[in-house]
Amino acid sequence: MHLGGFAAWNGLLLALLVAGCRDAVLCRRQFSVMIPAMVLTLTSGWGLAFAELGPPRNWSWTVNAMQSLGIVMAVVTLVLRFGLLPLLEEAITANDAEATTTGWSRINRLIAANLILASIILVISVTGQ
């Protein structure tokens, strides 16, 4: 369940970046699937940590690092969906080409940053313990 959520969350991010989502409605749909995957990933990660290691004081630095980076990824995902995407939709509605281009650029940069964080989490999970 945890790995499935992680794969869905990051797979949808990668799809947005690679496909170059140029339709704000389609992006909103992607995020409506991505956010539950994000919640599943975070909650199942905490569940696994509690079940296997007990209270947080027993968690290794790798678990804390993955947890922290996952929270940062979640914040970035929420900023994308509820911050930048509505601004982009306004720019598209107003036919403001410059603001639309800037909006897509910002969204793509944050998606790329999230994927870099996901890669770091993956490296930590494979090599960290």
- For residue 45, what are the domain limits? 2-127
- CA geometry: angle 115, 1, 27, nearest 5 deg: 45
Mean pLDDT, to the nearest integer, of 20-34?
A: 83
Give residue for tokens 């992607």.
30
What per-residue confidence (pLDDT) applies to 124? 94
pLDDT, tens digit (0-9, with 9 covering 90-100), for 98-112: 999 999 899 999 999
Cα separation, 86 vs 115, in Å, equals 22
Q: How confident is the model at residue 129 (pLDDT cuts 50, 70, 90)?
A: low
Number of domains within the chain: 1
